[in-house]
Amino acid sequence: MRRRFLAFVCCFGMLASLLPCSVKANGRTTNVNLLETPEEVAEVFYRQNASLRKSKGVTAQDQQNEIRKRVIVESAQTLENTYGAVKTYYYTVGGYQILLYDSADQAELAVTNLKKDYPGVHIFQDIPVTLEEAARDGDADVQAEIQDAAEKEDESETETEIQAFDGIHMMGMDKLKEDAKDWSGDATVAVIDSGIDEDHPWFTTRLDRKNSVNLAADGLGKDAYNDPNQGHGTHVAGIVTQATPVQVKIMAVRVFDLTGSASYTTITLGVDYAVQHNADVINMSLGFEILPGFESDDTDLMDEAFARALKAGTTVCVASGNEYTDTARSYPASSRWTIAVGSLEPVKDGNSYIRSDFSNNGTLLDFAAPGRNIFSAWIGEGETTEIASGTSMATPHLAAAAAYVKLKHPDYNQREVYSVFRDYAVDLGEPGKDTEFGYGYVDFTNYAAEDQNTAKKYQAITAPAQINKTMNDLDKPFTIDIEFSRGNGTLSFASTDEKVAKVNGSQVQVTGVGSCEIVITASETDQYYQTEERVRIRVEKGQQTITVPVTEYHKYLSDKNFKVTASIEKPGDGKLVFLANENDVLEVTEDGYVTILGTGTTQIYAVAKASDNFVRQVSDAITVTVEEDPKPQPKPDDDQNQNGSGDQNQQNTASVKKAVIRKVQPKKAQVKVTWKKQAAAGSYEIRYALKKNMKNAKTVKVNGKKSSITIKKLKSGKRYYIQVRAVKKNGTAVKKGAWSTKKSVRVK
């Protein structure tokens, strides 16, 4: 048999208003369509690939370019501008939007612009992930052994076959398989991979054909989850079937297409699909190395899917990676929501085990399992088999063990399954958890008699793997949501860095930007060992809130200098300064003193500068209008003063009522606005803006005799917000009514 060493690498180039709706995309109106299942998203990707499927000789690079045409926006907020997206979707399960573009370059530019429009929102191009047989037929040590044997001239026959390592026997699952054959219930292991050879005899009674699916962009429909090209998913699934009884079924979730390409989003959909279709265990013999420049936020999308899996009671086992590096550099093995599995193998004397030389290590490694020279199913005619190596082969050994736990305890979640693994772990390397083997390997030889096992057990503390906060939560203590279902110890809490978060009893208080761990400890009892669960607290910079007491000033050219004011609400701590765009109307100092230069209207902004704890924030506009000095008014004669001054003064000092807009009529690049006329009004001001908060609004004035105006030169397809107010002038005194209720309209 040929030995195959399989590995994965990643190619690099993750409700403010209701949906669906329409948004503008550079002159093109785009509807936001709801997608409520992973299958619906996969169908969108399939349609996106329509033109590519018609081409001949499609390569992995072609597929990766298609993937980069997608942009993910982790927000339900309606986007005012998508910068050229041809389609926009909202995936309700994940809570994010998917934007499709004509080219990868357009998508990249859109990400840059959208990040400016929506600071703090995670926006990124979809990431291609490639399945590679990185060292096919080529492990150096094994090939050297074969060569040495071939060169022995005194032997009549040379054995060049590689000796398979029976990892199932090592973990005691051959015996357990026999013991468990009459157990009641069932369990399903979802294999998120390249598909499964559905015609292979090993899967005849083991494949969950009803729920198996193809989420890759190369085909939909019945049996599309088949694995005709790669073999990787078939090998992985074969290990699970050989290690478990018939009650354990395989759900094939194909995410890699025929060229071996997948995307970060498609793999995330695979997790959601498995959870929605009640998988008990998820096997992910895949991953990608986190290279310099990779943003930590780029893993949030899949981490949120893993969080949903934990809540649903699904256990997720993932490969630690084959780069012989720290598991912290491999995702999703580095995720705190998953169980990271490394590879071990026997030494030549067969009496002990070592970590495989390709297997990733580090503090985030949880367990080790057999991964060198593993015999399993392969694609091809009949009962084709192969020997393959990698953490991809180690992971299904532990996934099979998880399936046994779920057979006995269908209500157990991942943390409880983990505690059972620790109960039966054989410690290797340094005592306790180490960087080479994690907690060691699981030996289930006697797991059938678990009920009679009187040895001390490990406790299970179920808590979120990570909690994200900002400095806006500075004065908001919170309690970690904990389920303590297996154990009877006393819980205590401690922080690894009180500069980020401190603990008071069971409450956690944010103290600064950074990350730390809250260590939850269940004390040792007569029945249970002391057990820890760690929750990562990530605190990011907060958003500052600026209060501006006066947002509009009306001045004359001869008026003296004046001061604008604003304040930053706590806990914001940035330095407050004022600035204005270049203009001929005024100058403003950083501390808010304004010097009038000429007539016109301009805007001043209060800016809260960035600090160690908060990001830079800009206020809504402070609008300043400067007019020519008024002409002197003639003095009234005595008769006028005696006969009419009382009524006139009463009229001039009467309050100005709030304006009421009667109708807003959109036209081509125009809007006609009609309002209720007020007898006391000398004029009206009409302002309009693209933003609901009226930021950067433009203002026009009309005579008080008018009750309508047509605003021209507007942008077609854009939504505008409009307000009107009445103005009354008495000499130099100007009295303005309140702005009318906002009306919104989409221009034709």
Tally the C-alpha atoms within 13 A of residue 587's C-alpha that lie toward its C-beta: 3
The closest alpha carbon to 234, from 133, 96, 456, 384, belongs to: 384
Catalytic (active site) residue 232? yes
Q: Is 59 exposed, middle or buried (0-12, 13-18, 19+ CB in 10 A)?
A: exposed
Structure-token pair, residue 265: 């989003």
The closest alpha carbon to 194, from 388, 353, 13, belongs to: 388
Question: Token pair 């950067």 is at which residue?
Answer: 696
DSSP string, 316-381: EEEE--SSSSBGGGEETTT-TTSEEEEEEEE-TTSSSEEE-TT--BSTT--EEEE-SSEEEE-SSS
Quickly count: other Cβ atoms within 10 Å of residue 738's Cβ: 12
What's the one-letter identity of residue 566?
A
Select which of 193, 197, 326, 366 is catalytic: 193
Select which of 392, 495, 619, 740 is catalytic: 392
Residue 460 to residue 476: CA distance in whole angstroms: 28
The pairing of strands 531-540 and 29-35 is unpaired
Q: Which 3-state string (H, E, C) describes 642-694?
A: HHCHHHHHHHHHCCCCCCCEEEEEEECCEEEEEECCCCCCCEEEEEEECCCCC
Classified as helix, coil or strand, 541 is: coil
Q: Is 349 exposed, middle or buried (0-12, 13-18, 19+ CB in 10 A)?
A: exposed
Beta strands of 407-450 (E only): which ranges? 425-426, 441-442
Catalytic (active site) residue 200? no
Q: How far is CA 79 from the centre of its chain?
A: 17
DSSP string, 468-521: EEEGGGTT--EE---EEEE--PPEEEEES-TTTEEEETTEEEE-SSEEEEEEEE
Structure-token pair, residue 148: 């040495």
Q: Which long-range contacts (CB under 8 A, 24 or more apart) does 628-637 make?
A: 628/556, 628/557, 628/599, 629/556, 629/557, 629/558, 630/556, 630/731, 630/732, 633/731
Q: Please confirm whether the linkage preceding 332 is cis (ω < 30° from 0).
A: yes
Catalytic (active site) residue 392? yes
Structure-token pair, residue 58: 């499609």
Select which of 232, 298, 419, 495 is catalytic: 232
Classified as helix, coil or strand, 275 is: helix
Residue 181 to residue 174: CA distance in whole angstroms: 11
Which residues lie closer than 8 Å to 6 by C-beta, 6 or more apart? 133, 134, 136, 232, 235, 388, 389, 390, 392, 393
With residue 110 as reference, give the H or E element that holds it: helix 104-117
Tally the C-alpha atoms within 13 A of residue 383's C-alpha that lie toward its C-beta: 4
Q: Are 63 and 259 in contact (CB under 8 A)?
A: yes
Quickly count: other Cβ atoms within 10 Å of residue 650's Cβ: 9
With residue 52 as reference, give the H or E element that holds it: helix 50-53
Q: Hey, which residues are catalytic here?
A: 193, 232, 392
